Amino acid sequence: MPQEASTIIATPNHNVLTTSNGNPVDDNQNSMTAGEFGPILLQDFHLLDKLRHFDQERVPERVVHAKGGGAHGYFEVTADVSNLTSAKFLAKPGIKTPMFARFSTVGGEKGSSDSARDPRGFALKFYTEEGNWDMDGNNTPVFFIRDPLKFPDFIHTQKRNPQTNLKDADAYWDFLSLVPESLHQVLILFSNRGTPFSFRHMDGFSSHTLKLVNKDGVAHLVKWHFKTDQGIKNHSDEEAMALNGSNPDSNVEDLFMAIERAEYPSWTVYLQVMKEEDAAHYRWNVFDVTKVWPHGDYPLQKIGKMVLNRNPKNYFAEVEQAAFSPAHMVPGIDVTNDKMLQGRLFSYIDTHRHRLGVNYLQLPINQPYRTFVAHHQRDGPMNFSENFNGLPNYDPQSQAPQDLQEQRDDLRVKMSKVHLEGSTGRFSPRQSKGYKPEDDFVQPGNLYRLMKGPEQDDLIKNIVGHMKNVKNEKIVQRQIELFNKADPEWGQRVQEGLDAVKRPPRAHEKDE
């Protein structure tokens, strides 16, 4: 027997290498053959076991947000918000809740660069005593679109061309130039905030308007803000481009190494709070995720602190298998009529089943481990729980032990109510009462004018650097028209920038 086979350490708890079913392995270096130079035997279970597992060790990557890093930590309440919400984990200052965060880019594949110009995902899982709450946001307060029907099309334009498998600047700007409500997010994305220095140096937002509901069932509309205590820090376009080549994992590495050095990143957590009845009269549709509530109208109220202080022990188990869903809510936090949010309530729990299987909530990283899970879902592939032993798998029922009989619907859980009237239909915001043609340009125009000189210079440079690759001149002109509508100077500067750089032959030039 070769020397090394008998001394291999498999895990800290075992001193013998085993097969997946626990049998000791006699030799991990030499396959079993028929004679010294003959073919391999089918009876070499260790070889087959090893190859078969390797052959199947990839799960599908996330269809978006495939590249990312994560860490464990806690959330601490620092202000009394019991008038706003009955959520137990927010009940009083001082309560600490364990949590897990995952940060990501959006469009690239699992091996793509951390410094790509892209929004960053800001996904948080709070392990509360009332089950898990997932706050699945971004590092931007707004989004490109406001109807989930557009999401797959939008993402297709950010990914690869179906024929060339290359990134496609024409598709990218074609879609955006035809969707004026995207302009606000385009502005943020093409500022240097589109290339954050690290995950530690960026803010996070719920982006959507959510609800908090108190013990009397009174609801308030809220937006969540997570402000980095490390300060905002971004890369210039040149720095980001250089990192694409020299260290495509710079952000994942930065987070991991900072926590290893015990430099624990933290975020101060704020809410913007609006009375429900005010929404109908507000200047902006509060359920339109392409709009912010200016802080002058709804100031930030400090309510907590989030600290990340523990690295994952295993990337696949804890980061890759983490599954966040906007539908995972605790009593006291509720959804709103934001159409995008409504679409997301379906999409995530659907994709999790595709990516991780129907029992993905039994995976340790996803388990609501601080509560007793009780339901009638049973069986399914890779069910590694006790499967509720002999408890009834139906309801209503009268046969469970008395103490479990009492675990009926929780009447303390107050649902917020939404009053609705009207007919069903497909409604365009542009045709809705009160819509003004300038609506999608006011907030981006204001933000453009708020930017300081060098910030504006970088914005124009970053836009020109990307748009110069567009071949179809009609697309360029349509997008410039959108910039013009927000601020004529913005459109003019992009046009001048494009005129000054070398561009690929335009579509109409090729035809001539």
Question: What is the SS3 assignment for 391?
Answer: coil
Is the CB of 268 or the CB of 347 nearer to ligand HEM? 347
* Residues of this chain that bind ligand HEM (CB under 6 A): 62-65, 68, 102, 104, 121-123, 136-138, 143, 148, 151, 207, 289, 322-324, 340, 343-344, 347-348, 351-352, 355
Amino acid letter for position 276: E
3-state secondary structure (DSSP) of residue 125: strand
Torsion angle (degrees, nearest 10) of CA 449, 454, 456, 461: 170
With a CB cutoff of 8 Å and minimum separation 6, the contacts of 429 are 146, 181, 285, 288, 435
Min separation Cβ 66 and ligand HEM, Å: 8
**Residue number, 17 or 341, with CB nearest to ligand HEM:** 341
| Cβ distance to ligand HEM smaller for residue 64 or 219 | 64
Amino acid (1-letter code) at residue 223 = K
Least Cβ distance, residue 113 to ligand HEM (angstroms): 17
Nearest CA to 327 among 290, 361, 364? 361
Contact 100, 71 (CB under 8 A): yes
Nearer to ligand HEM (CB atom), residue 131 or residue 326: 326
- Please list the active-site residues: 65, 138
Please report how close the Cβ of residue 153 comes to ligand HEM at its closest, in angstroms. 11
Q: 78 vs 362, which CB is nearer to ligand HEM?
A: 362
Question: What's the closest the beta carbon of residue 348 comes to ligand HEM, in angstroms?
Answer: 5
Asked if omega into 396 is within 30° of 0 (cis), the reply is: yes
CB-CB contact of 116 with 106 (8 Å): no
Q: Which helix (H) or strand (E) holds 293?
A: none
- Indicate the burial class of 440 (C-beta count within 10 angstroms; 0-12, 13-18, 19 or more): buried
Q: Judged by CB, which is closer to ligand HEM: 198, or 207?
A: 207
User: Strands, DSSP E only, in 379-500?
Assistant: none
Least distance to ligand HEM, CB of residue 428, Å: 17
* Least gap, CB of 61 to ligand HEM (angstroms): 8
Per DSSP, 388 falls in state T
